[in-house]
Structure 1
């Protein structure tokens, strides 16, 4: 199995295959609009604006497992766009831990070298996926998205 075998659903309910991003470096982040780390949206957007034209994909996946997200996917997306200027794709609210974990996050936690049960401990855990989909690097919630820049540039070469 690879990341490209999985599907995701956008905030407006459209489901698609992540296969459409094959060949691109991808940043996937679990988000929450009411989290103290929410200013990272602005940094993620800057990365997306800077490197998106070269192929970088940034995908936001809201979760309310830490009780810091609104309860409606479209409202979460709207808040990201209005408050932080987010233009990268936002998805429906999903679980990132437990029995109802969104399959993308089950895959990412395992592919990043963790055990199947290794929990995401907080909002804004970031995963950087290589263009071939084989390397997944996990970044802690408090780690600035800017710490991914060197690896992103390497993947874009």
Structure 2
């Protein structure tokens, strides 16, 4: 009887150890899936964009909308891009109508952003960023980190290898110390 009980205890403890190891790998990210950086976004300027094309560069991905109370952040996103582009930062604007605040067509979005804000940063066509129809990058972001944009102008900072450094809600301005300090840190890590 005691040998049978000891065997059961041994098997149970082995299963517990395996469970703990799996949980550790998931928590530390070693067993988690990678972000989808290869599925193309359609560019609002024509052609396609992939996050992997900017390998070795930090990327700030921002879901945007033209008719939002935060739309003036376009000006600061462009200023951020101008400040850091020579150091390697890419700012990718992803217009989305998921919150019902985008213009009716890609042509209108492009014209609005160029005329009103003078944008020349990379920009996608109108793209879903949440739910079942979300672009695969955003679906993988949700699975990897639990982050889904809750409103327009949510920001995701990726390091040069495509890892999520941090996410920022709409209220955090692109030029805030909270964001620029993270960008400075990522750029310093990449250069040194």
In the superposition, the TM-score normalised over structure 1's length comes to 0.90
Unaligned runs of 5+ in 2: 1-33
Structure with bigger RCO (C-alpha 8 Å, 6+ apart): 1
Quick check: 2:138–2:148 contact (8 Å CA) kept in 1?
no
Structure 1 gaps, min length 5: none
Greater gyration radius = 2
User: For residues 81-103 of structure 1, what are the alpha-carbon distances to aligned partners after superposition, in whole Å with 9 as ceiling and x for unaligned?
Assistant: 11112110111101111211111
Residue 155 of structure 1 aligns to a residue whose secondary structure is helix
How many residue pairs are counted as aligned between the two chains? 153
Question: Does the aligned pair in 1 maintain the 2:60–2:156 contact within 8 Å?
Answer: yes
Say which structure is richer in helix.
Answer: 2
Determine the structure 1 residue equivalent to 2:53: 20
Cα RMSD (Å)? 1.5
Q: Which moved more, 1:28-37 or 1:79-88?
A: 79-88
- String of CA shifts for 1:49-103, please: whole Å, max 9, x gaps: 0000110000000011111111211221221111112110111101111211111
Partners of 1:110 and 1:83 in 2: CA distance: 36
SS of alignment partner, residue 64 of structure 1: coil
Q: TM-score under structure 2 normalisation?
A: 0.74
Are residues 1:150 and 2:184 paired?
no
Does residue 139 of structure 1 match 2:171? no
Deviation at residue 3 of structure 1 after TM alignment: 4.0
